[in-house]
Chains A and B, each alone.
Chain A
Amino acid sequence: MPTACNLHNYILMSTAIKVENLGKKYIIQHQHQQQSRYQYTSLAESLSRSFKNLGKNLLHPFRGDASFENTEEFWALKDINFEIKHGDRVGIIGRNGAGKSTLLKILSRITHPSTGKITINGRVSSLLEVGTGFHPELTGRENIFLNGAILGMRKQEIQRAFDEIVDFAEVEKFLDTPVKHYSSGMYVRLAFAVAAHLEPDILIVDEVLAVGDAQFQSKCLDKLKETSVEGKTVLFVSHNIAALRALCKNAILLDNGSLTGYEQLDTVASKYSALIEKKYRHNFKSLTTQRIEIKKIETLNYSNEELLNICSDLGFIIKLTYQVKEKGRIGFCICFSMDGQPAFISISNHDPAFYEIKNTGFYSTTCKIPDMLLNSGRYSISLTIFEENYANTTDFKDIMLITVEDSPIVRKDYFGGYVGMVRPKLEWSSIYLHG
């Protein structure tokens, strides 16, 4: 007889998901005759193509497979191997197009792999989108049942969780209103609430938390945490490192369809930012004006070591190394922007050297970015070079991209989004005035 403890250990130690040599290949068709933006083919097209190929094969039987003439193979995933134990909470990180969604779709059996084998022990529920199958004409109440059934819940299960779902979604008053009249916030809340009350052994969640207001997002995260406390296995894809940190211990890093790491979240997170940074550093070419040539732009920590992972609670230094080819005054202006919108600029006229005349030779100029200033996310840095005066300028747009990682220090227990281009840490205090 296994004791409760043994059983618990058994659940923890046994394999939930085992992935061996997983690969997924897509065939991309290049259409010469017409640019169709639809994936599907018309019967006539495909009949005529196969007749053409048949003809070709008959005429030139030794030429090989002609049907692949204008198609190209694309491996969205290749040689993926990993194993997840029951009760593990694993994050999946990767750049856009790294294969995260494909992996989730294969694990949740929406699409099939091209190579390899996956063994899953237990009931899987996947949440790749909130509100799948919601029908706008049906009421909130009706959609709870419909959506629940689509996600694999039995009618009794939905009935049991019904009050909790309504409570969680905060839509009690609108339960009998068709969801087409719902605000987008209500819609998302209701959809997530249904999904959050699933009771699978393994839960697969795509970046669905990117929707809804901040307060609701943290509520969702709490709910997910609760789920995992119950010994359930959770796979969670997110770009939000803070959200991942709140939920996962380990993470999988995907890059270009390959698995490049499956370790502790912090290790994987820094690998991930290094990956992004490297990608952009490689693009740097020297910038030349009449007077100077910028040889190198680096990000350093305060101890002058190269820094690849920038975190909003640690300051850093941007260092320009350049050669002055013609004697004169040189000044810089640095501009941080996000999504094409300038966040702030800073001019080097606080540096006494700004007003000095530089002889030819090699120089470096640094700019110190304080901690607790930047928001998390990707900033693009542009550089303006002044020669002699403020009127004589040369602009270099987007010479460097940096990704600022989230800081738990500024966030504290808040997991929602931060609006704005900067996220300074400000002093807050309260005092008691009178009763």
Chain B
Amino acid sequence: MSTRQQIVITPNKTLGDSGRELWEYRDLFYFLAWRDFKVRYKQTAIGAAWAVIRPLLTMLVFTVIFGRIAKLPTEGEAPYAIMVFTAMLPWNFFSNTLSESANAVVNNSAMISKVYFPRIIVPTAPLLVNIVDFLISFVLLLALMAWYRFQPSIYILLMPLFLLLAAITALGLGYLISALNVKYRDFRYVIPFIVQIGLYISPVGFSSQVVPEQWRLWYSLNPMVGVIDGFRWIVIGDNSNIYWDGFLLSNAISLTLFLIGYRYFMHTERQFADSL
């Protein structure tokens, strides 16, 4: 009977093997993500085609406005459209994961107030769905490169690492806001705002080299600057305008945000059921 797990519940914390528990619930990750994926395109006429059309249209608009009308410079030899699309991959992944993650606890309140499971699964599950969307977009990017006869740099093999970076950035904020959202529903309105403003203050439609040199370190306080510059670096290669000091600063901020978000979530999760 030594395999029987023991849990000790006290007012301040619950002692148990939380690592093992998370492992035992690993299928829930998959099923929640799968539910979100299934439900996402229910009752839509063209279904998953939206995963293709949305980023393509945004890319088109940005290329026309920033590239053609505003005549902003591209990076290296890359066509403007590819430079924009390369940034949209992590940006869409980040913004969708963040929005879904931040609302996840409140949206699943019925479940949380009636069943126990490791709560962290709820704001983490959106990650899986958005990885699927990301992969679809990635195939689009490859197609776009073929269309422009553009050869990506060898660094593109580092893609998973940079995707992880985007994931950490999105989840850190997602954990923090999803927990805050339980108590203060104001954060429900903060998210669309962050996502909307973030699209313009992050170098999605333009290259971060348009930012004056003396401001670039400050600009890198936005963690998505590092993520996006990193993506451009792996696609465009050493001709891209990556600013390494800023990149490291962005990454440090992503990581700090993640730790803060995770700790805040774990600290407050026991009160969720009482406040929902």
Interface residue ranges, A against B (CB under 8 Å): 7, 10-11, 14, 26, 39-44, 46, 105-106, 108-124, 126, 128-129, 132-133, 135, 137-138, 142, 145-146, 149-155, 201
**14 interchain pairs, CB-CB under 8 A:** A26-B274, A39-B275, A40-B183, A44-B186, A110-B115, A112-B271, A119-B6, A119-B8, A128-B114, A138-B38, A142-B38, A149-B31, A152-B25, A152-B28
Which of A41, A124, A128 contacts B183, CB < 8 Å? Answer: A41
Complex interface residues of chain B between 2 and 43 (CB less than 8 A to chain A): 4-11, 14, 24-25, 27-28, 30-32, 34-35, 38-39, 42-43
> Is the Cβ of A114 less than 8 Å from the Cβ of B11?
yes
> Is the Cβ of A115 less than 8 Å from the Cβ of B11?
yes
Which of B1, B117, B184 contacts A46, CB < 8 Å? Answer: B184
Give Cα A153–Cα B26 distance, bound, in whole angstroms: 10
Q: How many residues of B contact A (CB 8 A)?
A: 44
* B68 at interface by CB-CB < 8 Å: no
Give Cα A318–Cα B220 distance, bound, in whole angstroms: 84
CB distance from A262 to the nearest CB of B (A): 19
> Is the Cβ of B115 less than 8 Å from the Cβ of A126?
yes
> Is the Cβ of A117 less than 8 Å from the Cβ of B8?
yes
* B61 at interface by CB-CB < 8 Å: no
* B131 at interface by CB-CB < 8 Å: no
Chain B residue nearest to A108 in the complex (CB): B116
Chain A residue nearest to B186 in the complex (CB): A43
Which of B111, B187, B270 contacts A150, CB < 8 Å? Answer: B111
Given A10-B1, A117-B9, A152-B24, also A40-B275 (CB < 8 A): yes
> Is the Cβ of B9 less than 8 Å from the Cβ of A112?
yes
**A155 contact set on B, CB distance < 8 A:** 27, 30
Give Cα A126–Cα B43 distance, bound, in whole angstroms: 34
Instruction: In the A-B complex, list the 6 residue pairs whose CB atoms are closest, starting with the nearest.
Output: A149-B31, A118-B9, A112-B270, A43-B184, A109-B116, A149-B28
Which of A11, A138, A152 contacts B1, CB < 8 Å? Answer: A11
- Other A-B pairs beyond A113-B10, A138-B38, 14, CB < 8 Å: A40-B275, A106-B9, A110-B115, A111-B270, A113-B11, A117-B10, A118-B7, A118-B8, A121-B6, A123-B4, A128-B114, A146-B32, A150-B117, A152-B28
Chain B residue nearest to A142 in the complex (CB): B38
Give Cα A149–Cα B1 distance, bound, in whole angstroms: 25
CB distance from A80 to the nearest CB of B (A): 13
* B273 at interface by CB-CB < 8 Å: yes
> Is the Cβ of B39 less than 8 Å from the Cβ of A137?
yes
**A10 contact set on B, CB distance < 8 A:** 1
Chain B residue nearest to A23 in the complex (CB): B11
* B173 at interface by CB-CB < 8 Å: no
**A129 contact set on B, CB distance < 8 A:** 114
> Is the Cβ of A132 less than 8 Å from the Cβ of B6?
no
